[in-house]
Amino acid sequence: MLHTLHSLQDVGQHYQWLQQMRETQPVWLDESSGCWHVFRYTDVHRVITDYSLFSAERNLRARKSSVSGRKRGRSLLVMDPPDHRQYRGLVSSAFTPKALARLSGRIAAITQELLNEIRPKGRVDLVSDFANPLPTTVIAEMLGVPTSDRPLFKTWADALLSRQVKDSEFFKSDERQEDQALDKTFDEMSDYFEQLLEERRRHPQVDMMSDLLAAEVDGEHLSLEDTISFCIVLLIAGHVTTTSLLGQAVRCFNEHPEALAQLRAQPELMPNAIEEVLRYASPAWRLGRMTKTEVTLGDVTIPAGAFIFAWLASANRDAEQFPDPDRFDITRTPNKHVAFGHGIHFCIGAPLSRMEASIALPMLLEQLPGLRISSEEPLELFQGTGLFGFKHLPVVFIPSE
Ligand code: HEM
């Protein structure tokens, strides 16, 4: 079963466990937590896509108010239609291809600024010096929050995501003991955004906070609580996952020098290589859903009202879908991975993180020659309830001015 991961060896063992489960118990009830787990691509795909049977409206750490009494807004991630359709319509205007195209120059400029700092050093922590500040600055600029508050965002992200939540507690926050530390973080973030949104209401700017306040579907605006809640989701989801993608890409290239050599010879393979990193080392490991009625998956019947974890990381290594699934192959086509989910909840930020990686990784490889993970210092893994990546990734390279 999933254990705490301390090293890349542990990660390898975890993938072995997923493979064993795919082969022997593809739909499994964990008696200790009462949660179900699905591991095969076809089952995972069905669970995350068929919202008529599998609801996202589970009670995922979403209390209606905090200990202080502050009302919490709704989150897109835990909504079913019709609410989801309306809310997503309101927020997706901020993620149009045109809005993203405007960002590409900024992404390259931020990447360059970070690399200018790193290049002479020859040895850095890739997460704190590059993979974290890049997406954090991008999402902060998109939203319109001061980038100088970056240390604050990191503190909040650490507080929200590095907590070890038992599977049995994952879906049932209302029944959990009051979680004061989590509430405090939530209240701080809410106060922060409330103040900024209030400013935007008075003086709109060209940024996503102003767009969200102005957005309208069927004559409806987002409530203040919902707008705050969405800003919080974006701030956290907008950087933690992409930090993981950038770190995992460097790890994959480090472990597969032949792929890196091929990429250097054929840089046009980079978009394909990024998809392969997403498949091979998925930043989001698993998603939660709840059955609306009794459902049969394979030859197993799951009762109504059951909690299910759909393992994206396992689906992405299923041999039925991906030939030779444990091979890191940057030329793999087709590559219908589910790293960004599928269906109505498909990641709204997928085009943004793909764009960030496809701009940043070529610049990183070009400007840090000889880049490799340092064997002298320990790397540190980050493992949230459903997310996985690096806390620290020490790397070395040939320094230059
Ligand atoms: C949804 C993964 C980057 C914002 C999702 C889902 C996954 C995911 C698996 C589906 C959740 C579900 O079905 O329950 C990732 C990965 C990323 C990434 C692997 C980077 C490599 C981003 C970025 C943003 C973002 C950069 C924002 C700027 C969101 C939002 C949703 C979402 C708002 C909810 C969509 C909905 O429920 O309709 N993401 N994400 N993500 N993601 Fe991402």
Amino acid at 397: F
Binding site membership of 288 for ligand 1 (Cβ less than 6 Å): no
Beta strands in 8-89 (DSSP E): 27-30, 35-38, 54-55
Q: Could you give the CA distance from residue 130 to residue 117 in angstroms, rounded to a whole number?
A: 10
The minimum-distance atom of ligand 1 relative to the CA of 288 is 14
The minimum-distance atom of ligand 1 relative to the CA of 234 is 27
Binding site membership of 233 for ligand 1 (Cβ less than 6 Å): yes
How many angstroms separate the Cα of 224 from the Cα of each of 135, 143, 197, 213? Answer: 25, 15, 8, 8
The minimum-distance atom of ligand 1 relative to the CA of 346 is 10
What does R_g of the chain's alpha carbons equal in angstroms? 21
- Phi then psi dihedrals of residue 36, to 5 deg: -95, 155
Amino acid at 147: T
What HEC string does 235-261 produce? HHHHHHHHHHHHHHHHHHHHHCHHHHH
Chain center to CA of 121: 29
Per the CB < 8 A criterion, the answer to whether 308 and 38 are in contact is yes
Ligand 1 center to residue 350 CA distance, Å? 7
Cβ partners under 8 Å of residue 93, min gap 6: 211, 215
- The DSSP line for 198-216 is HHHHHS--SSHHHHHHH--
Q: Could you give the CA distance from residue 61 to residue 288 in angstroms, rounded to a whole number?
A: 11
Task: Tell which one of 241, 245, 307, 361 to mutate to probe ligand 1, the residue whose CB is within 8 A of the most ligand atoms.
Answer: 241
Structure tokens at 291: 């059955």
Count of CB atoms situated within 10 Å of the CB of 210: 19
Binding site membership of 214 for ligand 1 (Cβ less than 6 Å): no
Ligand 1 center to residue 235 CA distance, Å? 11
Ligand 1 center to residue 314 CA distance, Å? 18
Q: Which residue, judged by its Cα, is nearest atom 26 of ligand 1?
A: 238
Give the pLDDT score at 155: 86
Binding site membership of 354 for ligand 1 (Cβ less than 6 Å): no
Give the pLDDT score at 297: 96
Per the CB < 8 A criterion, the answer to whether 77 and 55 are in contact is no
Nearest to 280 by CA among 10, 69, 15, 95: 15
Structure tokens at 294: 């009794």
Give the pLDDT score at 61: 45
Cβ partners under 8 Å of residue 297, min gap 6: 27, 38, 43, 46, 47
Chain center to CA of 250: 17
Give the pLDDT score at 172: 60
Cβ partners under 8 Å of residue 6, min gap 6: 381
For β-strands 35-38 and 307-311, DSSP reports them as parallel
Q: Which residues pair with 310 in a beta bridge?
A: 38, 287
261: burial class by Cβ within 10 Å (0-12, 13-18, 19+)? exposed
Model ipTM over 0.90: yes
Nearest to 312 by CA among 289, 340, 334: 340
How many angstroms separate the Cα of 146 from the Cα of each of 4, 26, 214, 341? Answer: 35, 46, 21, 30
Structure tokens at 162: 């590095």
Ligand 1 center to residue 49 CA distance, Å? 14
Task: Write the DSSP symbol of residue 361.
Answer: H
Ligand 1 center to residue 357 CA distance, Å? 15
Walk along the chain (401 residues) and give the pLDDT tens digit of each residue: 556 778 888 899 999 999 999 999 999 999 999 999 999 999 999 999 999 999 998 754 455 666 666 777 888 888 999 989 988 988 887 788 887 888 999 999 999 999 999 999 999 999 999 999 999 999 999 999 998 998 898 888 878 766 666 776 666 655 445 467 778 888 999 999 999 999 999 999 988 899 889 988 778 888 899 899 999 999 988 889 999 999 999 999 999 999 999 999 999 999 999 999 999 999 999 999 999 999 999 999 999 999 999 999 999 999 999 999 999 999 999 999 999 999 999 999 999 999 999 999 999 999 999 999 998 888 888 777 788 889 899 999 999 98
pTM: 0.94
- Phi then psi dihedrals of residue 13, to 5 deg: -65, -35
8-396: CATH topology is: Cytochrome p450 (1.10.630)
Q: Which residue, judged by its Cα, is nearest atom 3 of ligand 1?
A: 349
